Each structure stands twice: as structure tokens, then as C-alpha cells.
Amino acid sequence: MNMRYHTPRAGWFATLGLAVLMRVAPVNAAPAEEFRHRDATVENWSVHGHLRAEDGSEWGVTAMFFTGKYLVLSGTAALIGLADVAAKALHFDYAFFVPFLQKVRYGDNGLLVEYGRSSLVRTGPQTVRLDMSVGTTASALDLQLPHEPMPYAGIGESRWAKGHVRGYTFMGAKASGTLRIEKRAVKVEGAVNLDHGWAGQMGHDHDMMMLELDDGSFVNVLFRHPRKGGSALPGSFMDVADAAGTRTTRTTFAVNRGSMWESPVSGAPYPATWTLVGSEADTRLNFTPAFENQEVSFLFGAIEFWTGVGRVEGVLDGRPVSGHFCAMMQGYQREGDAP
């Protein structure tokens, strides 16, 4: 696997994690909540999805702007991961930024996040521009947003404590632009999710999956996983938006692990295949990653997660479906001694 790191100001504390979410009461619709929530302990804006190039190659993209604080420590970071399916390689870069010493800027009345050379900016009523440039890895994407975000709110749970969490997701935003790895530039288009979450605590032990199905529908899953898989813990949800834009939400489902893959870097046991089973007998989705080693591990192992793409097929609400998925899995490094 190809991984590169770019870490200026590496002495500053930073960590990654979106708190476990529970769908209870809606927050204000974006863009009312796009601004920086300065009372939050952690906050991030992220773009992740599956893209196709003009030459037929397939790519996964994960881009994140993160800011957090813990006791007297704080950190701000930009992260980008590009998964090259044909080469079975994950290109990853990250950088820390020190406010007042480096460019860290937020909009007061709308979406504007700027860390160094990287930015996420609302350019119109339904358009957003992502320019992420860290080290030798970059992405420049224009996003066409669906009309309404999916809000969430609830309790974030971490290994240290619990805290309130809020946020929203734009499902299936159309994306087009360019990915760059060193001197190579690839023109791409596809679908991504745009997420924005803020919380009182950092979260762990949850998986996020975005599915782009061939029939034009999208599925967004947050799975709070028990050790060794199984029924979703409280706080999990599965949103389905069909080609016509009709949306439904369900909270009762299970994710059963198939074969496992052990990271040679962290030793974490990640699922190499898995199946999502709905509480109704007419939903069963099988996930197969494009390649196993899509783990990110940095800060001497303090931050580890799997972020990658692959194929999904099966049955959704009684109809046969197939397509692509993008997933982020966290918390598996703590499962090595689980029963």
C-alpha cells in the first residue's frame, strides 16, 4: 500500500472521530448550521464517496477538516485519502495547523472552512467547492447538493465520557473535478456524501457506509457496532433515498462479519467482507472491499481507521440491487481481545 505523510507542527495534539449518533430531534437545516460551533469539543466537515475517471478507473475519496480539544490540548488537521482501485493503493496525507501561526479560517454565517491551502466553501444555494491540498495529494471537486440534508442529534459516546452531538448529511451529492497524486492528475465524477458534525466528546466504535446503487438510489448507514458484530446498538441508523428522492429511515438492523483481515501495521482485525441484514426479511446487502489494506494509521498508532471503497450487492426492500460503497470503520483496534 502506498501511504505518504505530511506533518508540519506535529507536536500539536489532534485526534479523529465522529461521535456515535442517535437520531432523535432535528437540528436547524443547513446552511443555518454550517458555521463553526466554538463551544464543541470536536467538530469536522468531511466529504467521502466513490468516483470514476475518464479512463474508466475507479477511486475512493475521503477528505476531512477536523478541529478538537482535550483538556489543555487542541489541534486542527486536514486529511485526505485517495483509494486507487486498479492499483490497489491508498494514498494518504495529513497536516496539522496552528491557529494564529498558520491560516485557519471559518465563515461566521455559512460554509467556509480554510486550513492552509485546503478549503471547503459554499459557492451557491446548492453548490459547494472542495479544494484539498496536503503534501503531494490533492482533490479539487465541485459538489451539487441535493435539496435537503438529513439531520441528526443525540449522544456521543467515547472511551472517556459521553457528550451531546449534532450534525447533518447531504446524501449522494454529485461531484466532478480533479484528483492529484504527485504529478498525476485524474479527472473524475461520481457521488459523495457531505457531512458536518459537532460534539461534546470524541466518538469511537462505529462504521459509516455510503452506498451508490445502480438503480439511482442512495443508502447512508451509521452502524454502532458491538464487539464481533451483530445487531446494531442504539444510535445506529440507515437512511434510504430512492431515485425519486423519497427517503425512509430505519434503526433496526444487523451487520454480520464474514472473513476478517488483520492489519500488518496496527494488528486491528477489520472485516474483509460483511453483510447488512434488515429487520425485515427483504433486505440483505453483501459488501466486498476493492482491496483489503485500506487502513490509515498515524500519530504512532494513536489514530487508526479503515477508509475504503468496494462493491455491494443483494436485496433492498425486496428488490435486487448492486452498486458501489464507501466506508469508514473505527474502533477495531480495541477488539483484539474481545470474546
Look at residue 304 and tell me if it is in a domain: yes
Look at residue 178 and tell me if it is in a domain: yes
Look at residue 1 and tell me if it is in a domain: no
Place of cell 459554499: 122
Look at residue 208 and tell me if it is in a domain: yes
State which of 157-166, 174-183, 257-266 shows the largest mean pLDDT.
Answer: 174-183
Look at residue 2 and tell me if it is in a domain: no
Quote the mean pLDDT of the chain: 80
pTM over 0.75: yes
Read off the pLDDT of residues 6-36 as tens digits, 9 standing for 90 and up. Answer: 333 332 223 333 333 333 333 344 556 888 8
Residue 178 belongs to a domain with what CATH number? 2.40.370.10
- pLDDT for residue 91: 92
Which band of pLDDT confidence, cut at 50, 70 and 90, is reported for residue 5?
A: very low
Cα–Cα dist 202/19, whole Å: 5
Cβ–Cβ < 8 Å for 193, 185: no
pLDDT higher than 90, residue 265: no
Look at residue 294 and tell me if it is in a domain: yes
Tally of structural domains, the chain: 1
| pLDDT over 90, % of the chain | 41
Tell me, letter by letter, the H, E, C secondary structure of 241-279. ECCCCCEEEECCEEEEECCEEECCCCCCEEECCEEEEEC
Structural domain range at position 309: 42-334
- pLDDT for residue 115: 92
Look at residue 111 and tell me if it is in a domain: yes
- pLDDT for residue 334: 57
Cβ–Cβ < 8 Å for 216, 243: yes
Read off the pLDDT of residues 203-259 as tens digits, 9 standing for 90 and up. Answer: 556 788 999 999 999 999 888 777 666 788 777 888 898 888 788 888 889 999 999
- pLDDT for residue 202: 53
